[in-house]
Structure 1
Amino acid sequence: MLRLHAIPPPHENYGADEMKGANGHGVNYSVADMYGIISGFKHMQGNAPWNRIWNLHVTERVKSFIWLALHDRLITNHKKNRMGLGHAMCNYCGDISETELHVLRDCPLVMPLWLNVVDQSMRSDFSLGDIQQWISLNLCSSANGKEDIMWRNFWATSCHVIWMWRNMAEHDDHFQRPSTLELIIAKQINQYQQKVMMNTVSNKVARTEVMIYWKTPLEGWVKLNTDGAYKEGSVAGYVAELWGVLEGLRYARKLGFTRIELNVDSSVVDSVLRLEGKGSPLDVLANIGCTIDSDITYYEACPSECHLV
């Protein structure tokens, strides 16, 4: 009751009521915000493993692979044995169970790679922990690896390449592992990042800043500015613009003006009025000219083909 008594009643001097959330931000109030606060989801999503995986600067295939590894979804011999599909031992070691951690970190086939590329400051922790802890350790690292590549990107790509080569060795009797593993992995990452940069540059649209202001027409001319309004779902916007142009020109001619400078704010309408592009009357006449034999043809009336434009 004391809480209710402490709340002042509505009054015009107190301003309008507004919605406030538990976080104190009334402007961005929403059910989603409140749900995030109650569930605690927003506090964990920045450091969540899935968020770090999808923020890696690697191919989507590598991200998906790390996601599968994090959730113990790689089909190793250990997992196949639990399904009743053969032995659980590593095909190379022979006497050690082939788990995800063994394939990606502990197998003698991959240890030389990690010894060459893992920084001295990480080596003590690199060989410890289970698969989730190991993945989290490398995803959270901000160190640089080979050729100044971010370690987490180099590590994720290395894991994917290791798994890919493991499968190739198991299913292809003629496959031989390359000797310069770290150079091949670094090359893959650099190629991907170069492609990303090229796409970023190519997707940038060249923009030209044009100052919009009213210009006085030439002497003896009048200026007509038109605009169109339409009901959504009834006609296209440029059709309304064209109707605005038509009605504006009709009104100007009715007032006795013959020299009219027309201004519209639609580039589509502008191109249509200038008879540009495919399907314009000029384009139709050009097509007619390609089908007749004589050099010059005179028309007393508009060709029937142009009536459809």
Structure 2
Amino acid sequence: MTPSGSWDVALLLSLFPTPVAHRILSIRCPDTSDGVDFCYWRWHDRFTVREAYLKCMENSLDSSSTHWDAVWSLSVPQRVRVFLWLALRQKLMTNLERQRRNLCNNVSCSRCSFAESTTHVLRDCAHARQIWDAVCSGTVSSSFYTADLHTWLLLNLRSRNILAPLDVPWNILFGSVCWHIWKCRNEYVFAGSNSHPDSVALHSIIWARHYYTATVVPQRLPSPLHDASPCQWSPPPSPWICLNTDGGVCKSTNIAKAGGLFRDNCGTWIRGYGRCIGIADPLTAELWAIHDGLILAWDLGFEMLQVQSDCAKAISTLTASTVRKDSHALIRSIHSLCQRGWEVDFVWIPREANQVVDQLVKDLPQSQYERVCIDGPPAYMSDLLSRDIHGPPYSRGSA
């Protein structure tokens, strides 16, 4: 622009192709009174990716098609939806598709001599059939193995029948099995890993259950001040690992300690840990207990972890939608740990149901600043551990 507020025509023509410069010259020069800049295009006042996509697809997009809902409304992670959409469009990178794109010469399946199409990988390969048989136990109809790919995918993705005794909708389980079959194929091709069909089937069922239960809206945290019902330690569903955490502050010294205990769904002690964290408030102590536990759990190779804490403030903060932008660095670090390749679930429990870890933290020496791991339960905790599993339940206010 010139100092007078008009376009510098000579400079525009030297910087841009003539048609572009002329487009610019036809636009009113900006002024400070115009407000904040925004993207503008010919079809709408304001640019959005949605409108751009609809414009690009206006001649081929059928908004009434049920194919969309069958995939994109499925209660599974987005990566699984994308995978199923690619399968429906026959765009998975099978050897047949790779040859079509001139990326390879051999179209054979890596496990057999048949051409590796999407249908072959997900259903017709002998290894895939063994997985389906392990999941369905012979309950699928004969048409399951005869329908064409498009029909096969849509029919199963639309079925919401609950498959007994797995207690999960068939469309979610079907999507999970397809996803794990594809992952199993890739691990075999690229890493030489040959997973047993029963193992793949089990993982598919476990993840399908998790997808299904994750869609349930979490209930509001109960108030310990108004609930006098008896309580007891609640084991996580198999094969989840339970992490009970607790933090405390000494009233006389303000020294804080934090620790936790890993147990399986049977209540078996896996490993305890704890340390002194210096002078801190109770919430920070609780957060350090969770933070240290997540790091240790990752090192131990746990894939599905349920964190149980009696600190309602810590749980509500860590499950809030604003956790990623929280001003507390420790909270942001916990959130970052949860974003790794595993499943972490936070659950509030009454203080009375957390007595084992409460006792473990109280017994830590105040000089123990390095994290100490406790591989087996101390003898004096045997009664508490037994009561957690077998009862009787604790009365509220007994801790």
- What TM bracket, shorter-length normalisation? 0.3 to 0.5
Question: Normalising to structure 1: TM-score of the pair?
Answer: 0.47
The structure with more radius of gyration: 1
Question: Normalising to structure 2: TM-score of the pair?
Answer: 0.37
Which structure shows the bigger proportion of residues in helix conformation? 1
User: Higher relative contact order at CA 8 Å, sep ≥6: structure 1 or structure 2?
Assistant: 2
